[in-house]
Amino acid sequence: MTSRTGADLIVATLKARGVERVFALCGGHIMPIWMALDAAGIEIVDVRDERAAVYMAHAHAAVGGGFGVALVTAGPGVTNAMTGIANAHVSRMPVLVLSGTPPRPQENRGALQDMGHVALVQSITRVARTVRHAHSLPRELDNAISAALGHGGEPGPCFLDFPVDVQREPIPEVLFGIEQVAGRPQPRARALEEDLDAAAVLLRSAQKPVVISGRGANGASDALARFLTVSGAGYLDTGESKGIVPDSHAAHIGAMRGVAMKDADLVITVGRKLDFQLAYGSPAVFGGAKFLRISDVPQELTDNRLGDVALMGHIPQTLDALSDRLEGDVMNRDWTIALRERHVQRTAGLADALATAPSDAQGRIHPNRLLGEIRKRLDPDAIVIADGGDFPSFSRIALSSATYLDPGPLGCIGLATPFTIGAAKAAPGRQVVAATGDGAFGFSGMEIDTAVRHKVPLMIVVSNNGSWAIEVRDQMERFGKSVGTELQFADYAAMARGFGLKAWRIEDEDAIAPALDAAFAAMKEGHPVLIDAVTSPEAASSDSKTGLAWVPDLQALAAWDEAERSWLSSEVNS
């Protein structure tokens, strides 16, 4: 026996898996782990709220690869973290959340923060367990990390908690050397040759194929770009994979998204669920198109719409195998070429449209004018985080970046500041810019204090329009109801300066360029900065008008529902 403890073994496992930092908020029930992290030289990014710790771990994993780690204390520490866990769950993001519980002899005796955490988080995690024996730590940690990374299923958050006495328990040195501590490479599935052949036949017979990428494509950018070139398919990215294929690629037809989805005769999903953002794959939107589903997890092959061919396997390898089969006859499809030309025509004037977006009668800035100026200053490898109700709809169109994060399919607004911190920690040297609505900023804006304390170079741009969901309010009023939260035009720049950030408040068009020049220069010097731009609440994005915003236009939603009902009715009658 040695003086090394369960907490030491937990930390040794994290270090062996390449974990360099943990996002955490201190508490008595996790102090042994906290102290072991410090002793091992693993950075602790201490936060103001546990939800933010999980958000940071989420963004760190999305940008840096591997899995992110959040450490939260018992009771309210876990309940505070649950929104972050739920967001990682729906986004299928590998996050390991660790917590503590009272010592085992004090269980069910009214100890401080004595709660059954596992029952709370079980439905939004891949693994949720209380580790009650120190000798079980290597096996339990390896199981949770493997599940988080998607070994055998969808990746996603996993939760482990440890009684304090388990954390402090001395354990044999031999346990530090067993294979579960360092782990093993992830096993990879491979699509069957006959299925690949069938997929190649499907591709050759299609006239109007379109590829829609998602979560699973993020590690396959080169293979996906090659496949798009060889197959001649059009390409639509989504928030889950925006930026992984350069905008200059001839397959990009995003500005023709609606036409492409309606006219395609073959839809190829790559690591992407057919969720609400893709109308669940409904024939009311996609017509009679055939489907080719490609993924490394079964859940992305069987949701809502089954593929005419489904390929289960390591995604880069699968795409390369298809490209090899098509390489001899590179397909220059007239349909894709025509849509690409129209896409280029539509996007060619984007810079001018952004630059000329008019202020309102009170002189408040149009969001597009602000975003157009940010766009000019972004590096090619910039990381962009978009947050808010309708504001991400402006940002998605206006801002081009190599890496893009947003509220995801849960619509979990309020994550801009922690996402930006997590992303910046994962990618030092890259620009990290968050564009957020003012309502969303308020959810976790206090984490600017974390950015200052940890000297994280980043930029938060707040579109301060005094309200959120104003379009939803207007839409609901059509139905005889009034909904929406009116906010004051608060001085977020003054708030930021109070926490030690360099901050600028922009109240008219002439102030945009000088403020952004100064802010980008300060960020390059290593400072966290904030831009508080007073924007027009009257501006509405194109998505809010077409029903594709995070909170859909209710009339558009009703129209789509009616179209699907009509299609179902015709199918039944026939």
Same domain, 267 and 156: no
For residue 413, with 0-12 CB atoms within 10 Å meaning exposed, 13-18 middle and 19 or more buried, which class applies?
Answer: buried
Is the domain of 206 the same as that of 333?
yes
Identify the residue with better confidence: 467 or 372: 372
Residue 300 · residue 271 · CB < 8 Å: yes
Residue 567 is assigned to a structural domain of this protein: no
Asked if pLDDT for residue 171 goes beyond 80, the answer is yes
Positions annotated as catalytic residues are 471
Cα gap 319→315, rounded to integer Å? 6
Overall average pLDDT of the 56-63 stretch: 97
Same domain, 238 and 340: yes
pLDDT of residue 471: 47
pLDDT band at 292 (very low <50, low <70, confident <90, very high): very high
Q: Measured between alpha carbons, how far is 523 from 541 in angstroms, rounded to an integer?
A: 29
pLDDT at 574: 45
- Paired strand residues for 385: 405, 434
> Residue 12 domain-assigned?
yes
Per the structure block, which two tokens stand in for 409? 């399919």
CB 57 within 8 A of CB 82: no
Residues 451 and 481 reside in one and the same domain = yes
Q: Are residues 425 and 276 in the same domain?
A: no
For residues 307 and 292, the answer to whether their CB atoms sit within 8 Å is yes
Is 152 among the domain residues?
yes
Which stretch of 86-95, 303-312, 343-352, 464-473 has the lowest confidence by average pLDDT? 464-473
- Helices (H) and strands (E) counted in the chain, each on its own, are 26, 19
User: Mind listing the pLDDT tens digit for each residue in 394-424?
Assistant: 888 888 888 999 998 888 999 999 999 999 9
Tens of pLDDT, residues 494-510: 999 999 999 999 999 99
Sheet of 309-312: strand order equals 234-236, 209-213, 266-270, 290-295, 309-312
- Closest by alpha carbon to 221, among 266, 270, 254? 270
Cβ atoms 240, 215 nearer than 8 A: yes
Backbone angles phi, psi at 80, to 5 degrees: -65, -35
CATH number, domain containing residue 323 = 3.40.50.1220
Strand pairing class (458-464; 467-468) = unpaired
Residue 561 is predicted with a pLDDT of 57
Q: What is the pLDDT of residues 113-140, one digit of tens each?
A: 788 899 999 999 999 999 999 999 999 9
Q: Which pLDDT value is given to residue 480?
A: 53
Mean of pLDDT values over 220-248:
92
Would 149 be classed as within a structural domain? yes
Answer for the pair 437, 75: CB distance below 8 angstroms, yes or no. no
Kindly state whether residues 269 and 282 are assigned to the same domain: yes
Question: What is the mean pLDDT of the segment spanning 437-457?
Answer: 96
Buried b (16+ CB within 10 A) or exposed e, 507-525: eebeebeebbeebbebbee
Task: Provide the residue range defining the domain that includes 260.
Answer: 193-347
Mean of pLDDT values over 77-92? 96
122 lies in a domain? Answer: yes
What average pLDDT does range 13-28 have in this prediction?
97
- Could you give the residue ranges of the DSSP H alpha helices within 349-469? 350-355, 367-377, 391-398, 416-426, 438-444, 448-453
* Count of structural domains within the chain: 3
Phi, psi of 6 (to 5 degrees): -60, -40
Same domain, 128 and 80: yes
Strands 266-270 and 95-101: unpaired
Rounded mean pLDDT of the chain?
A: 89
Closest residue by Cα to residue 329 from 429, 231, 222, 238: 231
Residue that is last in its domain, among 326, 347, 368? 347
* 504 phi-psi bin (left φ>0, alpha ψ -120 to 50, beta other): beta
Q: CATH number for the domain including 81?
A: 3.40.50.970
CA-CA-CA-CA dihedral for 546, 548, 554, 559, to nearest 10: 60
Q: Per residue in 30-44, pLDDT tens?
A: 999 999 999 999 999
Residue 160 has phi, psi (to 5 degrees) of -130, 135
Percentage of the chain beyond pLDDT 70 is: 90
- Assess contact for 433 and 383: CB atoms under 8 A: yes
The tokens for 382 are: 């910039």
The answer to whether the CB of 383 falls within 8 A of the CB of 401 is yes
Q: Return the DSSP state at 305.
A: S
- Concatenated DSSP letters for 484-499? -EE-----HHHHHHHT
Does residue 54 have a pLDDT over 70? yes
Residues 121 and 153 in one domain: yes
> What pLDDT does 467 receive?
67
d(CA 530, CA 493): 7
User: What's the chain's length in residues?
Assistant: 574
Round to whole Å and give the CA distance between 115 and 101. 8
Residue 571 lies in a domain: no
Which has the closest alpha carbon to 459: 539, 392, 519? 519
User: What tokens were used for 343?
Assistant: 């896409």
What is the rounded distance in angstroms from the CA atom of residue 158 to the CA atom of residue 54?
11
Give the amino acid at 150: G
Give the pLDDT confidence of 550-571 residue by residue, as tens digits: 333 444 445 555 555 555 555 4
User: What residues pair up with 127 in beta bridges, in sequence order?
Assistant: 158
* pLDDT for the residue 113: 75
89 HSE (CA, 13 A, CB side): 17
Same domain assignment for residues 298 and 362:
no
Q: What is the pLDDT of residue 409?
A: 86
Asked if residue 545 and residue 399 are part of one domain, the reply reads yes
CA angle 128, 132, 137 (to 5 degrees): 75
Report how far residue 249's alpha carbon sits from residue 78's, in angstroms, rounded to the nearest whole number. 44
Q: Which of 347-351, 364-368, 433-437 has the lowest mean pLDDT?
A: 347-351
Q: Are residue 141 and residue 162 in the same domain, yes or no?
A: yes
Please list, in sequence order, all residues whose beta carbon lies within 8 angstroms of the beta carbon of residue 197, skipping any fewer than 6 positions away.
Answer: 325
Q: Find how far residue 117's CA is from the centre of its chain.
A: 25
pTM: 0.90
448-492 pLDDT, tens digit each:
999 999 999 999 999 999 865 444 555 555 555 545 567 788 999
**Could you tell me the CA-to-CA distances from 408 to 84, 190, 494 in Å, in that order?**
12, 29, 30
Mean pLDDT of 229-240: 92
> Is the residue at 570 inside a domain?
no
More reliable by pLDDT, 573 or 258: 258
Residue 106 has what DSSP assignment?
G
Contact 407, 40 (CB under 8 A): no
HEC profile of 120-180: HHHHHCCEEEECCCHHHHHHHHHHHHHHHCCCCCCCCCEEEEEEHHHHHCECCHHHHHCHH
Which amino acid does the sequence have at 319?
L
Model pLDDT, residue 469: 45
State how far the Cα of 445 lies from the Cα of 436, in Å rounded to an integer.
Answer: 10
pLDDT level of residue 152 (50, 70, 90 thresholds): confident
- Assess whether 114 and 231 both reside in one domain: no
pLDDT at residue 425 is higher than 80: yes
Instruction: For residue 518, name the pLDDT band (cuts at 50, 70, 90).
Output: very high
The DSSP bridge partners found for residue 433 are: 384, 459
Which of 182, 209, 230 is the last residue in one of the domains?
182
Choose one of 288, 322, 347: the last residue of a domain: 347
Spatial distance between the Cα atoms of 69 and 182, rounded to a whole number of angstroms? 16
> CA-CA distances (angstroms) from residue 180 to 1, 184, 287?
20, 8, 49
Residue 333 lies in a domain: yes
- Higher-confidence residue of 481 and 329: namely 329
